[in-house]
């Protein structure tokens, strides 16, 4: 898994402060901006986060490049709906090389690798057979291959990797980290959330100071479903 920050709102905490102060200020936005000092920004953003006034956080966004994650992770990630996603297509991109995610529990089981290799061979065989079938029907070879991989992909498992570009605003990220940094989150998306949190903490430290699983800075919110093992590694 590789996670890269592709882009983010410049001076994010200053923008949050301007937006929030505008709600209560009799001055123009330009005057509000000019009157802000760096020390004030840090205190003000910390106060906003602590009291739960999170709507100003929606003005800043972060765009990530996520590579080498499973389709299983993708299905979980896109449940976080206040975000934008662009996903590598299995319809247009042929999986000529085998690339899949191995869960830690299966790393030492040879049968897993054998099964994945067999599936990949089946995928390529189906792609070739369908391509030939379409060409025999008079379809242009490039179009024939496109149509073939569109149907052959149905044999590919959740473990096959994909690449994602996604954009979150800061408020959505806080919610994402609350749920996905938790020990009860699935291991792969928890790993992704940890990497993303590490990145954004460097950009907007006061926004994400206490972000992550609720047990890190307070009390677990999972009730009877709690793991009973607060995280200490984040």
CA–CA distance, 44 with 37 (Å, rounded to integer): 10
The C-alpha angle 169, 100, 107, rounded to 5 degrees, equals: 110
3-state SS of 15-46 is HHHHHHHHCCCCCCHHHHHHHCCHHHHHHHHH
Q: Can you state the angle between helices 12-22 and 38-51, rounded to 10 degrees?
A: 70
CA separation, residue 141 to residues 96, 134, 151, 233 (Å): 17, 8, 16, 53
The Cα 104–Cα 140 span in angstroms is: 44
Helix (H) or strand (E) segment spanning residue 209: none
Q: Is 99 helix (H, G, I), strand (E, B) or coil?
A: coil
CA R_g for the chain: 23
Q: Is 180 a catalytic residue?
A: yes
Q: 79, 129, 180, 184: which is the annotated catalytic residue?
A: 180
d(CA 21, CA 43): 13
Active site residues: 180
């Amino acid at each position: 898994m590789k996670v890269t920050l592709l882009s983010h709102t410049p001076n994010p905490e200053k923008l949050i402060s301007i937006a929030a102060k505008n709600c209560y200020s009799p001055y123009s936005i330009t005057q509000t901006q000019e009157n802000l000092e760096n020390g004030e920004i840090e205190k003000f953003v910390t106060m906003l986060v602590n009291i739960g006034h999170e709507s100003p956080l929606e003005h800043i966004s972060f765009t990530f490049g996520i590579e080498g994650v499973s389709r299983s992770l993708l299905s979980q990630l896109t449940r976080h709906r206040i975000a934008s996603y662009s996903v590598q297509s299995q319809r247009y991109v042929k999986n000529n090389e085998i690339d899949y995610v191995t869960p830690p529990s299966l790393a030492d089981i040879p049968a897993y690798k054998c099964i994945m290799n067999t599936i990949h061979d089946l995928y390529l065989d189906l792609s070739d057979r369908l391509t030939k079938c379409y060409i025999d029907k008079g379809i242009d070879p490039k179009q024939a291959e496109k149509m073939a991989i569109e149907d052959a992909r149905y044999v590919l498992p959740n473990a096959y990797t994909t690449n994602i570009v996604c954009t979150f605003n800061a408020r959505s990220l806080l919610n994402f980290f609350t749920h996905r940094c938790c020990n009860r989150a699935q291991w792969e998306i928890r790993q992704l959330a940890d990497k993303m949190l590490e990145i954004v903490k460097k950009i907007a430290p006061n926004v994400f100071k206490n972000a992550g699983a609720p047990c890190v800075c307070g009390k677990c919110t999972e009730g009877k479903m709690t793991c009973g093992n607060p995280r200490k590694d984040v």
